[in-house]
Each structure stands twice: as structure tokens, then as C-alpha cells.
Amino acid sequence: MLQGNECTESTVWNEVIYDLGGHPLQLWGWGEVKSAHNWHAHRVLFTDQQGGVAGAAQILERILPKPFRRLCYVPRGPVCREGDTAAVYEALAAYASQHLPGTLLTVEPDTELAPTAAGWQRSSNTILIPKTLILDLHHSEEELLAAMAKKTRQYIRKSERAGITLRRVKAMDDIEKLLEIYHQTAERAGFALHDDQYYRDVHINLGDSSLIFAAYEGSEPIAFVWLAASQETAFELYGGMNERGQALRANYALKWFAIRKCKEWGINRYDMNGLLNDGISNFKRGFADHEDMLAGTYDYPLSPLYGVWTRLLPAAKKIIRYIKH
């Protein structure tokens, strides 16, 4: 069986995630963000008898009210060496059982394949939406454009001709203006936000893995899209636009700009982070002629109280909401 040991060096951890083609939510910086906001991150490497790394899991621990003790969550993980997936899941369950006893261990892997190791079971208490749209950036720009809806291509060209400027944003002063747009977007669409410090912490802790692109009319931002990126995957976190951005359909040219930049920088996948039956999802669907379905949410019960937890799902979901980025 594989041996699990906690990793305490950020450089070593990120190198493993990169080497194994891991998701940006498994990077050290994402764990730091969550640790600053009511979670604790445990980075566990799983090694074979020869000392080779077979897998890794950034486990986010959330303390629960007694008697449930804790919830452990692995977003878009674990990360596994080819051929070692089942062994990594077995070792992950064993590690959590021994070192992080609580009610449950939840994973949402960045793969279409469900866990096959014993003890794991499908959960309906989804955190990250499994139905999504992932662009393969190995395709040429011409191929990516050809796969889009005709209207999407038209709106890209129209917004590009509107005189807007598209660029990457790094400075915190610029990000503050984008957060103002995000508040406007949330109020208009009726969704809740974290406090502004949370988003500042995302940018600071992810460092170069925080990719923020914005559309400007003159010197004023009118739309933005914010991604977390590993060497393998760019993952959309947040986005928004003000009324002027809506009028110019700036989000079309902006998303295409972000896609092209990720491709230019050698990132292999562009994940639009979830599809529902809403206007935002219909906008995303226009950028490809396919959809992707990841494995979904799987639990490993760590306590006999797991059954009680699942029966209390309405209350549990109030806690789960705070997991979302």
C-alpha cells in the first residue's frame, strides 16, 4: 500500500502537482486562500516502496459542530500517477481515517472516471458542478473558432471592433475596480459574494497562477474574467461586467482573448467551470460544440454518523456553500 506523508514545502508540492498534470485548485496557493478563510489545508504525498510519488491530495479540513468533528474535502483531486489511481484513493482514505477522523472525506476529481477503490460512494451533495465545458487548447485557433456557435463568432468580431482594449491585470489597484464590477454583477444576477479580502487573498496567494483579464473602454474597466491556472489547466473562477460592458458585449472578445492567451502560454485545457440551465451557461456553450461530464462528487464515510449527516443534507448544504470559491 502507498504511504501518505504531509508535505510542508510549497515548491516541492507545486512541482508534484505540475508533474502529475494537476488542477489549479490543488496548488499550494489555493490551500493558503482557504486556510485564511475558515479552513485548514493538508498537503499529502503518496509514495510507493521505492519512494516514487504516485499521487497527491490537498485536503481542505473544516471543523464541524459536535459530534461530527470535521469534513475533509479534496477539490479537483486527488492527483494520480498513471496506473496508480485506485491505490491513491485507498491511501487517501486510510490517511484521512487515521489523521483526520471525522464524518466524511469528499472528493471531486478532475477526471471523467469515478473512484473504483472500495468504500467510496456517489454523493448528491455537489460542490463543483460536474457538467462543464473544457476546451482542448492543442487545437488551432481556427479549429477553436470553427467549433463555436455562429452567433458567438459574430459577437466576438463585433466586440473586437468596438474599440475596447483587452489586457491582463496584475496590480491590486486595478483589481479593486474589477471587484466593483463584480459587486454590480452579483447584485444584478442575485448571487452572493465573499468579502473583498477573500478575492485579494486569491490573487496574492496564487501569484502567477492568478490570471485576470479585463476589457477597458478608455481607461475604465467594463468586464473581466478571472482564472486559476496550473501548467495543465486554466479554470474560470469569477467574471463580470458593468452596463457598458453588456452594451458592447465585451465578454465575448474578452473570453476569446483569455482562451488565446492560455493557449499561447502552453496551457493545455481551458475549463469554464460548470454548466447549468441559465444565461451564463448558454453564453459558455456558444464557445464549443461539446460538453464535458466529470465524475462528480464521491464520499468516503469516516464515521457511523455519516448516515445522519446525509439525512441532514439541507442543513449540511448551508455549511457546504462556504466551500465554494
pLDDT grade, residue 203 (50/70/90)?
very high
Q: 244: number of CA atoms within 13 Å, CB side?
A: 13
Domain ranges of the chain: 3-129+295-323, 132-292
DSSP class per residue in 279-300 = HHHHHHHTT-S--EE----EEE
CA-to-CA distance for 225 and 55, rounded, in angstroms? Answer: 31
Count of Cβ atoms closer than 10 Å to residue 206 Cβ: 22
CATH fold of 3-129+295-323: Aminopeptidase (3.40.630)
Specify the DSSP element, H or E, that contains 33: helix 28-35
pLDDT band, residue 323 (cuts 50/70/90): low
Residue 277: pLDDT band with limits 50, 70, 90: confident
Closest CA to 324 of 283, 279, 273, 270: 273
Write down the mean pLDDT value for the chain.
95
Superfamily for the 132-292 domain: Gcn5-related N-acetyltransferase (GNAT) (3.40.630.30)
**Section 201-218 average pLDDT:** 98
Give 255-269 as a 3 state SS string. Answer: HHHHHHHHHHCCCCE
> What are 226-256's pLDDT values in tens digits?
999 999 999 999 999 999 999 999 999 999 9
**For residues 270-299, average pLDDT:** 94
User: Mean per-residue pLDDT for 182-198?
Assistant: 95
Tell me: the pLDDT tens digits for 86-129? 999 999 999 999 999 999 999 999 999 999 999 999 999 999 99
Q: Residue 314 has what pLDDT?
A: 60
